[in-house]
Amino acid sequence: MVLKTNKLFYDSGKMVGFISANILALFMVYISAFITGDVNDLVGHPIWLQIGAITMSYLLFGSRVFLGVFVGIILSGYFIWYWSGSYLNYLQALAGSLSPLIAIQSMKIFKLSKFFEGEKLIFEHVIFLAIMSGVINTLLKLFINTTVRNKVLYPELPPKQIDVLEFIQSYMYGDIVGGISFIFIMALFVTPIISFITPKILKRG
């Protein structure tokens, strides 16, 4: 009986931790978009804070916050960027949610996936992660906005003309700068507060 009760409390604690982590991730992703404001869909923002918020969410809470990240991007789309709700929007949100995860998994192959030393960030690994996330996010969104849009979603429409070089330069620069900026700000000011208040929900990458 005691064992069953303990298991029930343990499972309840895990569920509360899961929900709390996803809510915090959603909040970080949405607030980062709110700070940035409206954007041009085909030109990257000079400092794209949201990819930093997504990356930091995975570093703090693990892949279990994918849902919170994805919902945070969707809410940003509807209430900040005024999306029309097309499949193209959802695919871009999916790409944004997956890019840092793919980067983190890729870094594990090179044994560079240790991002924390105690309470401190390992800056070299984090910078490399921000660069990889920016590259992957840029390439995924370029693929979605060209090949997927023109050949899969809207083959009946004239192909969307995109300046590929400008797209890559603006997206990659904004992603890398925004990613590094947000992660460092979080590491210096916000993460210690979260760690002090609710240390059990952290699952550092």
pTM score of the predicted model:
0.87
Residue 128 is predicted with a pLDDT of 92
Asked whether the beta carbons of 171 and 142 are under 8 A apart, the reply is: yes
Residues 10-18 have a mean pLDDT of: 78
Span 84-137, pLDDT tens digits: 889 999 999 999 999 999 999 999 888 877 887 766 777 888 899 999 999 999
| 87 vs 8 pLDDT, higher one | 87
| 130 vs 14 pLDDT, higher one | 130
CB-neighbour burial class of residue 6 (10 A; exposed 0-12, middle 13-18, buried 19+)? exposed
- Cα separation, 141 vs 164, whole angstroms: 11
| 142 vs 188 pLDDT, higher one | 142
Residue 1 is predicted with a pLDDT of 52
Res. 9: pLDDT tops 50: no
